[in-house]
Structure 1
Amino acid sequence: MTTDHRDWHDDSAYTDAVQRAERATRFGWTAITATTATLGCALIAAIALCAGAVLAGIYLWMTGLTG
């Protein structure tokens, strides 16, 4: 008969799995946050460029420099 030295109540494998899952979840949320922030900055930059182009066009139109 083989003896298993692990206790019947040994939850170390479960605890390790939970810790790995928590680390993966934290990494996932960090990746989502970084992606969202990057896309938000790109959106703000695109809006600023469009607004600048519109304002430049209005300026040129008002000063009569467009021909």
Structure 2
Amino acid sequence: MSDQDWYDDSAYENAAEQSHRVARAGWTAILGVSGLLGAAAIAAAVVCVASAAGMIYVVMTATR
């Protein structure tokens, strides 16, 4: 017959545990990428503001 009893849920428990580990790794990856995209957006905004300030400075000093 079978070497497992009818109430043996070890395969199900192993699959559920593996599923939780994979889901946790997936969410960690999603949060990491979202954080990097947020940091890149902030850096782009800082670069835009700095370049606008530089252009205003050049225009102001050129028109004196």
Query: TM-score higher than 0.5 here?
Result: yes
Percentage identity across aligned positions? 41
Relative contact order higher in (CA < 8 Å, ≥ 6 apart): 1
Please name the residue that 2:24 is paired with: 26
What is the CA deviation profile of residues 7-44 of structure 1, one whole-angstrom value per residue up to 9, with x for unaligned ones?
11110000000000000000000000110111111111
Would you say 1:37 and 2:35 are equivalent positions? yes
Alignment partners' CA distance in 2, 1:20 and 1:5 = 23
TM-score (norm 1): 0.86
Q: Which runs of 5+ in 1 are unaligned?
A: none
Aligned length: 63
TM-score (norm 2): 0.89
* SS class of match (2:4): coil
Q: Which runs of 5+ in 2 are unaligned?
A: none
Moved over 4 A (4+): none
Answer with 1 or 2: which has the greater Rg.
1
